[in-house]
A and B are shown apart, each in its own frame.
Chain A
Amino acid sequence: MNALLELRGVHTAYGELSVLHGVDVRVAPGEVVALLGPNGAGKTTTLRVAAGVHPVRSGQLLLGGRDMTGATPRDLARAGVCLIPEGRGVFPNLSVRDNLTMMTFTGHSRKQIEEIAFTRFPILAERASQAAGTLSGGEQQMLALARGLATDPAVLLLDELSMGLAPLIVTRLYEQVAEIARQGVAVLLVEQFAAAALGIADHAAVLVRGRVERQGLPDGVLRAELSALYLGSSS
């Protein structure tokens, strides 16, 4: 299958500190790839590179086979890449409705966006004029995820969707993610809460200290290896 999103041998750094040392990731349309790994492995950085927020030092970022290395976040967003960042995917001082307005820059009308968001997450309709920062954590994640649902992206990048949420909500959110993938979206998700992610993933990669140490199907073998990797005893 042709990859829609591909990172090829990506190296990147924060100043002097080099973080990714040649990361290769491929995500095909309709596929869910889970990127796992211990804290500080570089998962968030990988997603930031894929969304153009963080520049690569060497390596390539390909979108549908086209080289997009060095493109701005805005270009990538307009090309269909949607990153829901870690912990704060909403504008806290804007109302829910204004947050939805901010989703119209990728070419959808506000009406379409509101319709999708409000049918998927009816609670948002009730809170429409409330400042997003005053929503509960779960509601904020719903609003953030609504961008992934309503803007009809080609590639969806999700960073720690489950952070700080009750397991029930996490399950519900991941159901929505699986639904998005079924429509042909390439989904790359980062998750500490491995079980939730592996439940819907077609493919998994384990990132340790900036390198992809293992990849494969999210089957029992990988699950068994995970704990060893997290403890850093892989060799």
Chain B
Amino acid sequence: MKNYLNLIPILAKIHRRQTRMTRWCIVISVFLIAAIFGMADMFLQSQKNLAVMQDGAWHVMFRELNEEQTMMLAARPEVKTLTRYAAANYALDRDYKVEGVQTLLCGYDETFFALFPSVSILEGKFPQETGQALVTEGMRVRLGVSVGDEVEVETPDGVLRFQISGIVEDTSMLLQADAFGLFMNTETYLSCFREATQKEDFVSYVEFVPHCRIQKAIRDICGQLHIPKDRVSENAKVMGAMMQSSDHYILMLYLIAFVLAVLVAVSGMMMILGSMNSSVAQRTEFFGMMRCLGATAKQVRRYVRMEALFWCLKAIPLGLLFSVVTVWGLCRMLQILAPKWFSEMPGFGISLPGVVFGSMIGLLTVLLASRRPARKASKVSPWTAVSGNADTVFAAKRAAHTGRMRVETALGLHHAAGSKKNLILLTSSFAFSIILFLGFGIGIDFMRHALVGLRPDAPGTVNVEEAKAVYFSFALFVYGFLAVVALIAAFNIINSIAMSVAARMRQYGAMRAIGISIRQLQTMVAAETLTYLAGGLAEGLLLGLPIHYYLYRWAIIERWGGAWQMPFKECVVIAAVMIASAIAAMRGPVRRIREMSVVETISM
């Protein structure tokens, strides 16, 4: 053994019981953070794939470029694919007809199919010569035409004749309008519309090479080719899903996701801090002994911090594993609920951002959380190792008030409220969950208001499937996060009570010897639990309701009007979760007290 820190893995087995909760807290924090980022990543990936299917894979569209600008643009190293595109009768309201049916006429380069993967050639090939054209499946079915046939288009300027070179899929727009489509290469298009069309009428869709910093590339291109900014538009959905958008709305969404992850990390940190505090309190004598044997306060502090890092070795991979499995499950669920919308969801993908952020934020959380317990441990005096009065680390500085109530109740209250720091830490971490729950509960109202516009008959809605999918993903997001917050609250309460009792087990043993009954000890634990619970609820509601009020005004009233209402349902739900957890939290410690061997406990 080269160093006292090498003791950590050896003593880890011996201290397993006192550190178990801390290790689970780390696992859960890492799990939640990795799951949030993992889910967000999967969601973005599926949204990007979906956006590519709907709007195409292009990133940026340039309007009104001249021939020189187009050539220079296509030749740039950032540009992976460029396709020119022009359309006549796009609104299907002019007299372009085949056999009396409204027809859309487009001209584009062959590269079009690389940028719009949702359109594919069913038969034949892209027109290589002037005078050839692709026609839509609908035309083939209704007019019985096939590759090689001639087709005549009536236009306001006379009749155009094309030879069919291939058949393409119908787009949903053409299907809905019951119209035909006829697509030719750019040269044909130009020759057909020589008078009516200028080259400037073409737009150029551009897909950039992977890992290109698109906003910078756009700036460079516009600057060097003298293209005004207003002739450039972005494919907002695809760029948004790639986190390259300049769109404020999408940036806002990322900000919200990031804030949520930070909030979860903060509550995770409070959880870890609380559990580390008591794991240190339970090992007071060990740290006193280290000091007795000559360890400096600084060495003890390092020991505690290194120990926390040592747990991360196992806890972080475990948390990541749980998150990966959970993300798979949630993706599957979404696919089953709204198959078309989420068909592009990766099946068994592992999210790199999830893993990276989960482990990094997890590690950071542990490092931050371990500072205070480490300082506490380093302050244990060598004397504690030999005195019989353990628990001195968090011992109160005042005596309990035993005058007015029963001693067991008074002591229970004092265990909770005797150390102000301990009380504030615990009630605040409970209150934090309430605030998160109330704040995020607004998401339900938001969803209700926002989804009114997503009714299937509302304008702009593609179909019922889309409304359903948006609803499901939003509901999953909102309720999923509410569930996570409730879970944290429950775990935190159960954990805190278990810790608090475990740290005082010796004291309870001594009291049993002196003659306290098991029932009285139960009362004591209940009084302590109730104090934390009441404090947490009071603090949470007192802070949470005003926050709810302001958030509600900002997110709902300013957009849709209406008046603020007390979120009774949310309050009841989170309070019920907390009360139920508190009741559950007492069961384990009470069982331990009942099964405790007095002799073994006091001679520990």
Are A and B physically bound partners?
A: no
Residues of A within 8 A of B (CB): none
Taking Cβ atoms with an 8 Å cutoff, the residues of B that contact A are none
